[in-house]
Amino acid sequence: SCQTGVTQWIAACSGLLQTTTVQGQCRQMLYGIFQRHKAGQFRLSKSCGGLIPANGAITQQNRSFYTTNKHLSAKDSLQPSEEKVGAFTRIIEAMGFTGPLKYSRWKIKVAALRMYTCCVEKTDYEEFFNRCQMPDTLNSWFLVAQLHVWMCLVRMKQEGRTGKYMCRYIVHCMWEDVEQRGKVMGINSVVLKEDLRSMVENFYAALFGYDEGILSDDHVLAAALWRNLFNRNCEDPRHLELLVEYVRKQVQHLDALSGEDLLLTGEVSWRPLVESNARSILKPHSPVYNDEGL
């Protein structure tokens, strides 16, 4: 098995490496394998029968490598597999239509409207304006609202195709509400149309920044909040620290909610902006709903 110029397959921790060895190099290779075996890097079967058979080819039978236990972090955790759909469903969705969902579209739209309502009615905007020194304008209201809408989108995208369909309707409800609020405030239609176009661009840019921030450390998240929520105008770093803590605990709070309840009811609750004990995040009670999702 050690003839000159014969191609050998040498077992290594990274796999099987193809190389050409001579008779003396083969002896050195076997000596190194046994030395690593004594050091505990990997185990060999008795007499190397599982690695080096008589004909010179090396197989992977009876071989086990030394592995270390790695603790998965939050961003390294295993994600649920993508929902499997048939070929027909993929075709109609590629054409712009919606395939069959887990629940009826009417129930999902009602839940989406209710979830958006929780974003705009259960949030203390006055506290945000006072503590973060933000002007009391329609744009400031929209910036705070889109932050909560984004957190809902992050949660609902974990519920497969049905959750993604619900995300689309949540965003639709948001733009309908912004347009109606602008009309009630007496904003000119031309000016309102230009403002909506600018809000749409800022909204999708903010989604990208917030997604990057929630998957990274607090520095990246603080930079995203500084650019999008504060419009690059924040002189007190304590405001950024407060908002970073707020976003982290809200995302953790939403993750504790049941996905089935969110798809059927859309009821979400929010932690206060400032609280005495930020670690007291308990799993909320499941809402009660009837067969129609109400």
- CA dihedral for 130, 134, 138, 143, sign (positive or negative): negative
| Domain span including residue 250 | 103-287
Burial of 167 (0-12, 13-18, 19+ CB in 10 A): buried
Report H helices in the chain.
Answer: 23-39, 87-94, 105-121, 125-132, 138-156, 160-184, 189-215, 218-228, 237-255, 259-264
- Tell whether 36 is covered by a domain: no
Burial of 104 (0-12, 13-18, 19+ CB in 10 A): exposed
- Tell whether 64 is covered by a domain: no
pLDDT reading at 282 higher than 70 = no
- Tell whether 28 is covered by a domain: no
Global pTM reads 0.64
- Tell whether 246 is covered by a domain: yes
- Tell whether 89 is covered by a domain: no
Instruction: Please write the tens of the pLDDT for every residue from 17-26.
Output: 343 344 455 4
Q: Which residue has the higher pLDDT, 225 or 13?
A: 225
pLDDT value of residue 106: 81
Q: How many domains does the chain have?
A: 1
Q: Cα 293 vs. chain centroid, distance in angstroms?
A: 27
**Using the 8-state DSSP alphabet, how is residue 51 labeled?**
T
- Tell whether 91 is covered by a domain: no
- Tell whether 42 is covered by a domain: no
